[in-house]
Amino acid sequence: MPFALRRAPFVLFLAVAAALAGCGREQKGPGGMPAFPPAEVTTLTVQPTSYPVSFEYVGQGVGSKDAEVRARVTGIVEKRLYEEGATVKAGQPLFQIDPRPYQAQLASAEAEIARAQAEKSRAVREVQRLRPLAERKAIGQKEADDAQSQAELADAAIKAAEANATEARLNLSYTRVTAPISGITDRADVSEGSLANANQTLLTKISQVDPIWVTFSISENERLKLERARTEGKLRTPNGVGYQVEIRLADGSKFPRTGRINFTDARVNPQTGTSELRATIPNADGALRPGQFVRVVLRGAERPDAIAVPQVAVMEGPQGKFVYVVGKNDKGMDVATPRPIVAGEWTTVEGRNLWLIDSGLNAGDVIIVDGIAKLMPGAPIKVGAAPPAAAPGAGAIKPAAPEPAKPASSQPAPPATDASKPAGAPAARPAPPQPAKPSPAEPKK
């Protein structure tokens, strides 16, 4: 057989293989990059509605009453009568100061009263004796007047002695130091045997924690921003009872009781540029303690006619925050278009975290909320479902569900030469024919 005829089957095989390889090669997009299928995304249509908003600050607990327990008389502290850190009632004994010096002072004052009373008795008797003599002109009038003055001086001496006795009795009572208010005690600042000076030595502190106060501060910039929003009608604040104060503990848990703001400082701290506010919280079980740091959440305000998007849809770029909006390219295909936005407060509706948008979005805009990780600006996308116009309320933030993919078995594979078939699909590529091996009996040329 001629050599050309023997090579014909092999040349035919190479041509078929080359054609099949060309059909299986990936299609190239612009710039030689592989043309990936459009990313499938989930969208929602935004509509303005009213959303509740809250404001969160860092707060610290303080006692609604804080009292410093100081020694009111000078003496040696004999005994501590309370358990440090325990809750005490008003009037409960806390310390005992050595009472013996004051007992002696009281006894001396009482003796002075007795002496003054005896002196008064003598003066009265003298007046009674001299009065008849003065009436009969047996003695001079001056002598009678002097006797009457002595009686009056004796009466004044009794009152002075009684006042001294009252003071001594009061000092004696001060040797037993009692709690001025009910609350939680601090540690004792002095121990037994220490000298306590009157009105100087701090013995301990007591804080009343039911109710407890929580102080927090708001910056001047934020206060002006909220006032401006309220004036422009973009913010409704609660009237009458005011904001509801919610407390978040350090572990993120919610305190079971809420309170109200009971003080707003009209002054601005020149060192921090903030104004102080104070809330009162019921705290019968003493769960909140003075000095404890908490998160203060003010609830009750709302944003009327506001636009909100899920927090997952908001991205951060070099120029600020943005979202992807569904747009059209010159071929009429759906594409992902970045849209810069100005985000405001966070809010939560039915357990969903939303970001209120101050500017950048309009009613009816269709934004992408799922599949963002696969997007490129201007790249074609496949919208999971046509986003209907969302009604105000909770429906305005419900994303459209993506269209479920059909089972692979129900989609017949197109021919391998069909250009719409993604390149490299093994199911559509026929098995290449095996080349015929030359017969061993044939001599090689």
Q: Is residue 384 part of a domain?
A: no
Q: Report the candidate in 217, 191, 218, 221 with the shortest Cα–Cα distance to residue 204.
A: 191
Q: Is residue 122 part of a domain?
A: yes
pLDDT in tens, 152-166: 999 999 999 999 999
Q: What is the mean pLDDT of the chain?
A: 81
Q: Is residue 401 scored above 70 in pLDDT? A: no
pLDDT in tens, 236-253: 988 877 899 999 999 999
Is the backbone of residue 371 left (phi > 0), alpha (psi -120 to 50) or beta?
Answer: left
Q: Is residue 146 part of a domain?
A: yes
Q: Is residue 31 part of a domain?
A: no
Q: Is residue 169 scored above 90 in pLDDT? A: yes
Comparing 49 with 389, the larger pLDDT belongs to 49
- Residue 146's Cβ-side half-sphere holds a number of Cα atoms within 13 Å equal to 5
Q: Is residue 32 part of a domain?
A: no
Q: Is residue 355 part of a domain?
A: no
Q: Is residue 108 part of a domain?
A: yes
Domain count, the chain: 1
pLDDT in tens, 78-93: 999 999 999 999 999 9
Comparing 42 with 30, the larger pLDDT belongs to 42
Q: Which CATH number is 159's domain given?
A: 1.10.287
Q: Is residue 117 scored above 60 in pLDDT? A: yes
Q: Is residue 149 part of a domain?
A: yes
Q: How confident is the model at residue 360 (pLDDT cuts 50, 70, 90)?
A: very high
Segment 289-309 mean pLDDT: 93
pLDDT at residue 186, rounded to an integer: 93
Whole-model pTM?
Answer: 0.65
Coil, helix or strand for 288? coil
pLDDT at residue 6, rounded to an integer: 47
Segment 7-36 mean pLDDT: 46
* CB 345, CB 323: distance < 8 Å: no
Domain extent at residue 103: 99-174
* CB 221, CB 100: distance < 8 Å: no
